[in-house]
């Protein structure tokens, strides 16, 4: 493929900001406040900052891995070079299904919210098929379109963040006092829980070759994650000021409940608007994750990506039919989160060490 034609499929480094941020700011921002408050109470705002710094470190590790060898700048190639065809292929398969089930968990949770808050009688199929069709359409037209989905997934609903200013009118500052009144073990558990809200950015390991001058995109990846941390901190702080701690621990989706106090002359139930717009927020989660799945399988099997995409969409729909109850949805989400924690906390650091050892051996040989 000629260089000008190849550039048609690439994106500018600054667009990585949207790819990283929109993969992190998905369905979890509707409920993470409750989860971290259970672990460390209202002092868990500290955990948001600590977890954010840890993820910045992991992003740095990922770029060090990808930049170690320009000829192997995506995960399937790295796996094959470091672990061989079969072991490397199995590791790649694990990562691909991790992203597949991440997309499934996000879509199932969003459908659960629609059924719970808006349309109790709507069926899974009536919601899942149109959404998967739109996701498949975006992926089919290439990675630049997927990036465009991420761009609009940030620009269109960004104003929803300012709706969190309304509950501050009823906020109680004493809720977060005294400061630092928490134990180290509680903060560690809260940091672990908070880190799970930031997973998804590791898709960089797959789409890095599609970035023009990939090294220049690192600062934008850090910037995207930094905005994610600020947004989560602001939403959590608003929730802590607005709710009492017993209230917050009982709410499944605190962000949605806060929207209920917003009343406009022509909109009485603002949370309906928020839920509808949240579809635009989760679309990048779905498109990027399923793009990774279809792209990875294309590289492993040699099939055309339109075929691997079709397989991914069908499997996703079948998975949604199996996951019917809320408890099953929670189990899937928690399982994906635990696998994500192992990838961030164990796999990526180990891969970083291996890449450095391989590079050093290559320089000395």
What is the per-residue pLDDT across 298-310, written as a single tens digit (0 to 9) for each? 988 888 999 999 9
Confidence of residue 352 (pLDDT cuts 50, 70, 90): very high
**Stronger pLDDT, 160 or 23, i.e. the higher one:** 23
Whose tokens are 């969409």? That residue is 313
CA distance 359 to 13: 25
Confidence of residue 6 (pLDDT cuts 50, 70, 90): low
Is the CA virtual torsion 113, 118, 119, 120 positive or negative? Answer: positive
Q: Which of 74-78, 181-185, 331-335 has the lowest mean pLDDT?
A: 181-185
Q: What tens digit of pLDDT does each residue of 24-38 get? A: 988 888 888 888 888
- The pLDDT, as a whole number, for residue 363 is 57
Q: How many residues does the chain have?
A: 365
CA distance 93 to 88: 9
Q: Looking at residues 266-293, what average pLDDT do you find?
A: 89
- The pLDDT, as a whole number, for residue 1 is 44
Residue 146 has pLDDT above 50, yes or no: yes
The answer to whether the CB of 66 falls within 8 A of the CB of 204 is: yes
- The pLDDT, as a whole number, for residue 23 is 93
In the chain, % of residues over pLDDT 70: 96
Q: What tens digit of pLDDT does each residue of 44-63 get? A: 888 899 999 999 999 999 99
For the chain, give me the number of helices (H) and strands (E)?
A: 17, 0
CATH number of 11-353: 1.20.1740.10
Report how far apart, in Å, the C-alpha atoms of 236 and of each of 35, 118, 208 are.
11, 25, 32
Residue 245 has pLDDT above 90, yes or no: no
- The pLDDT, as a whole number, for residue 246 is 84
CA distance 286 to 105: 10
Q: What token pair was written down for 349?
A: 């650091």
């Amino acid at each position: 493929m000629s260089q000008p034609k190849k550039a048609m499929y690439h994106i500018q480094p600054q667009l990585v900001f949207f790819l990283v941020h929109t993969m992190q700011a998905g369905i979890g921002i509707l409920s993470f406040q409750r989860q971290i408050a259970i672990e460390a109470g209202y002092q868990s705002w500290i955990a948001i900052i600590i977890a954010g710094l840890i993820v910045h470190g992991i992003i740095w590790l990922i770029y060090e891995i990808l930049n170690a060898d320009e000829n192997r700048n995506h995960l399937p190639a790295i796996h094959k070079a470091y672990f061989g065809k079969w072991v490397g292929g199995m590791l790649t398969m694990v990562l691909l299904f991790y992203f597949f089930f991440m997309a499934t968990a996000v879509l199932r949770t969003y459908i659960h919210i629609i059924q719970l808050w808006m349309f109790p009688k709507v069926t899974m199929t009536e919601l899942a098929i149109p959404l998967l069709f739109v996701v498949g359409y975006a992926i089919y037209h290439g990675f630049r379109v997927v990036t465009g989905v991420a761009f609009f997934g940030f620009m269109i609903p960004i104003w929803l963040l300012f709706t969190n200013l309304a509950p501050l009118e009823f906020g109680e500052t004493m809720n977060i006092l005294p400061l630092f009144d928490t134990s180290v073990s509680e903060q560690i558990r809260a940091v672990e829980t908070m880190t799970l809200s930031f997973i998804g950015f590791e898709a960089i390991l797959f789409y890095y070759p599609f970035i023009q001058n990939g090294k220049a995109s690192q600062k934008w990846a850090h910037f995207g994650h930094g905005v994610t941390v600020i947004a989560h901190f602001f939403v959590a702080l608003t929730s802590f000021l607005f709710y009492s701690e017993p209230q917050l621990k009982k709410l499944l989706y605190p962000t949605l409940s806060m929207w209920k106090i917003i009343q406009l002359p022509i909109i009485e139930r603002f949370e309906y608007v928020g839920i509808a717009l949240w579809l635009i927020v989760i679309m990048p989660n779905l498109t990027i994750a399923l793009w990774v799945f279809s792209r990875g399988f294309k590289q492993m099997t040699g099939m055309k990506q339109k075929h691997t995409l079709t397989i991914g969409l069908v499997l996703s729909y079948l998975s949604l039919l199996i996951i019917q109850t809320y408890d099953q949805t929670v189990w899937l989400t928690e399982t994906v989160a635990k696998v994500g924690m192992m990838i961030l906390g164990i796999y990526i650091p180990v891969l970083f060490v291996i890449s450095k050892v391989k590079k050093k051996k290559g320089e000395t040989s």
